[in-house]
């Protein structure tokens, strides 16, 4: 896996986190400026919701900040033209519309004053792009839409947004493709997909499976459903094999750059069940800390050090020396129970 400079890396992760709702926050010091890059197609609505909290040295936690605390927000379009630049209060909603497709830079910094004398602010951020930025509650009231009309409207907005995104993707330069169009290049491409590819579709199904646990159903119905789910995974396995129990494999530039850890701090997921992969933090991430994901599925991740490292060596050709593997270095090289069972099955 390519290693990236950790600093650039955390900045990149923040970009990817833009698809996440409510879970992103960052710390900012006095007069410090933090910028985020978001790729936005043209004529797209963007809403940025934020809330500032002030570090409380007495409790060691963060408390709601006083309304006097202001955040200067600046948005620049791909031509470096300022779309927006003004001071907002400690909590607010900023909205703007893009007119040029490409990378937009959103910068935030606190209004410098003595009110937090060298201590830190925590800024919660939620950025919504495209049809996610439409307040349909307002639309229904204003245009008196029925439930059905509203659904149709949302669907049309979604289609329009997908078209905009596709047009934007098509407009990007695609140089470099030629290198893969030779026998050697194609081999290289397969190797690249083998080690860096991210399964597409698995997450959508697993999300659905996870959500079935919220269903209010009887024990009998639950048993039927569980049986159906088991069969579904079994069928997927028989069609695409154990490693690729999904609808396809795709390469994502940023996610490919993420190293593995047996105690990852982020996980890749398809939040909107479309082609957009998001990295979601699974715990707080310190500034400068490397973003790591797990190359192992949940079951394998719970296995012994020996089993995890064997799986990683076989599929990804490296010996894992993550913190967890280091900590367990003195563990005997035993295979986990599950693996022993498998070995027994095979020898029978």
Residues that bind Zn ion (CB under 5 A): 262, 320, 322, 325
Decide the pairing of beta strands 248-250 and 198-200.
Answer: antiparallel
- Of 14 and 320, which CB lies nearer to Zn ion in the complex structure? 320
Residue 144 Cβ, how far from Zn ion at the closest point, in Å?
57
Name the token pair of 152.
Answer: 């149709």
Our CB check for Zn ion shows the closer of 52 and 322 to be: 322
In the complex, least distance from residue 102 CB atom to Zn ion, rounded to whole angstroms: 38
Closest separation between CB of residue 278 and Zn ion, Å?
Answer: 24
Contacts of range 314-317, beta carbons closer than 8 Å, 24 or more positions apart: 315/195, 315/243, 316/1, 316/195, 316/260, 317/195
Q: Cβ(324)–Cβ(262) under 8 Å?
A: yes
Q: Which residue, 210 or 302, is less far from Zn ion as judged by CB?
A: 302
Nearest distance in Å: CB 319, Zn ion = 9
Q: How far is the CB of 265 from Zn ion (least distance, A)?
A: 13
Calpha distance 109→29 (Å, rounded): 9
Which of 138, 298 has the CB closer to Zn ion?
298
- In the complex with Zn ion, the residue whose CB is nearer, 123 or 262, is 262
């Amino acid at each position: 896996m390519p290693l990236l400079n950790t600093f650039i890396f955390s900045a990149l992760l923040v970009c990817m986190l833009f698809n996440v709702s409510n879970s992103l926050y960052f710390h900012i010091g006095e007069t410090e400026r933090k910028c985020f890059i978001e790729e936005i197609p043209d004529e797209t609505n963007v809403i940025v919701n934020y809330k500032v909290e002030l570090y409380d040295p007495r409790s060691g936690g963060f408390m709601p900040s006083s309304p006097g605390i202001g955040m200067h927000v600046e948005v620049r379009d791909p031509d470096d033209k300022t779309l927006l630049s003004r001071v907002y209060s400690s909590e607010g909603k900023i909205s703007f519309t893009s007119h040029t497709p490409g990378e937009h830079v959103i910068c935030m910094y606190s209004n410098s004053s003595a009110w937090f004398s060298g201590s830190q602010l925590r800024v919660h951020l939620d950025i919504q792009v495209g049809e996610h930025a439409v307040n349909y509650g307002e639309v229904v009231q204003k245009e008196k839409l029925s439930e059905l009309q509203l659904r149709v409207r949302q669907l049309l907005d979604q289609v329009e947004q997908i078209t905009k995104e596709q047009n934007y993707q098509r407009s990007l330069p695609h140089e470099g493709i030629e290198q893969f169009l030779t026998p050697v290049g194609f081999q290289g491409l397969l190797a690249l997909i083998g080690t860096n590819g991210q399964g597409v579709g698995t997450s959508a199904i697993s999300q659905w499976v996870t959500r079935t646990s919220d269903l209010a159903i009887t024990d009998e119905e639950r048993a039927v459903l569980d049986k159906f789910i088991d069969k579904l995974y079994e069928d997927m396995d028989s069609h695409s094999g154990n490693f690729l129990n999904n609808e396809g494999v795709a390469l994502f530039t940023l996610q490919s750059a993420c190293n593995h850890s047996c105690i990852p701090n982020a996980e890749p997921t398809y939040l909107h069940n479309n082609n957009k992969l998001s990295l979601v933090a699974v715990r707080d991430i310190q500034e400068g800390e490397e973003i790591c994901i797990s190359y192992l599925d949940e079951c394998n991740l719970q296995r012994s050090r020996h089993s995890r490292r064997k799986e990683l060596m076989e599929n990804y050709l490296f010996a894992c020396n993550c913190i967890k593997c280091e900590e367990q270095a003195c563990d005997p090289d035993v295979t986990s129970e599950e693996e022993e069972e498998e070995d027994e099955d095979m020898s029978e």
